[in-house]
Structures are given as structure tokens and as C-alpha cells.
Chain A
Amino acid sequence: EDQVTQSPEALRLQEGESSSLNCSYTVSGLRGLFWYRQDPGKGPEFLFTLYSAGEEKEKERLKATLTKKESFLHITAPKPEDSATYLCAVQAPSNFGNEKLTFGTGTRLTIIP
């Protein structure tokens, strides 16, 4: 069964203080690893997809990286508006067009002005 573990559960940073969020996964043949951002009371918002080890994607202050066992979401010089819960999800291969994602429980990031 696919498993996704995210750490830490919660992270408080000062504005401008860079850090990384971790996503460890176990899946039989990774098809894709996805990062989402979720604000309170809203649906998850798609950020990145990573497909193979060594791949990196960037968007503004966020950079996602992937190894064979884990992914990191690096946040550089964060601002208060980066406060949100960041979710990691994996997609396993399927012969039936089944693209369901298995999610971790997220890291709740708070950026203090």
C-alpha cells in the first residue's frame, strides 16, 4: 500500500528564515509526486509535479526536489503569505487510468512577520 509521511507536522518561521519540508514515500513504482498548498477552508492548490529522482521545480520562493525515497520543499526567504498547509501526494501506476493520489497529512507552515 502506498504511504506518504510528511515532517514536521508544524513549522513556525520568522519572515525571511529559509527552511525545508520533508515528504517520505513508499510506493510501488512512482508515477508522480505532487505538492499542493492548502489554505484554511479551501481546497488544495496544485504547486508542482516531480516525476523522477534528481528532478527539481521552482516557483517563486518554493523549490521542490525529488530522490528515490523522499521529496523536499525548500522555501527561501518566506513571507507571511506563504503560511499554509503544504501537502505531498504520490501517484502509483495503474492500467485503468486510475490516477488517484495518496496524500500525506501535511506540514502546517506559519511565517511570523
Chain B
Amino acid sequence: DSGVTQTPKHLITATGQRVTLRCSPRSGDLSVYWYQQSLDQGLQFLIQYYNGEERAKGNILERFSAQQFPDLHSELNLSSLELGDSALYFCASSVGQGGYSPLHFGNGTRLTVT
């Protein structure tokens, strides 16, 4: 158990809808990262937050947004969903003090857009 909790585990929704994915980082970790994993592309970095502030953006679509709250949990919001958004979405956390800390991943949310 990595200590990173993601909910829900599965989500099935229709095109055009909006969903929110939730992540609770490991105790003591200040950084939260969101990754998307699809069959053909592997793990793609979306966005990072550190102690409530956005730190880095990757290949995140404008239809997607995220935030990290004062209690350090994070939410990833996906809107105007398309079939191609179907994927596994992983949250990871790290101490995030600028050191050489590994990322620890949750077990993901599987999103299916129909």
C-alpha cells in the first residue's frame, strides 16, 4: 500500500459530461502529481501541485483542470468529455522539497467515456 488514496476506482460517463477525480496524498507529502495512462501512450504527466500551488504543467488539455486544497488533497476536473479521454488517471505524491524523492502512486481511477 503506497498510502496514496484515489476515488472513485471506476467511473463510467457519457461524452460531454464533467467528472471530478479525487486524491489524498501520503501523510507528510506536499506534492501531488496527476498522470494519465492510456494503452497506446504510457504514463503521461498532466500537472503538479506543491503545497497548494501549481508547479508544473505537462500535456494537460484546456478542458482539464486541477487544484490542491489546504488539507493537501487534490482534485482533477475533466469536462466536455470525449471518447479519447477514456484512460487510467493516476495520482502520485512526494515529499516535494526539491530533493531526489520518488513518486508514490495510488491505484488510479479508470474512466470510461461512452
A residues lining the B interface (CB < 8 Å)? 31-32, 34, 36, 41-46, 49, 51, 87, 89, 91, 94, 96-106
Contacts and interface: CB of A to CB of B under 8 A. Distances in A.
Given A43-B90, A106-B42, A99 B96 contact: yes
A49 B105 contact: no
Closest 6 CB pairs of A and B: A43-B105, A105-B42, A97-B98, A103-B43, A98-B56, A46-B102
Contacts, number: 70
Given A45-B2, A97-B98, 10 more contacts: A32-B102, A41-B107, A41-B108, A42-B107, A43-B4, A87-B43, A98-B48, A99-B31, A100-B45, A101-B103
Given A97-B50, A100-B48, A106-B42, A49 B98 contact: no
Contacts of B50: 97
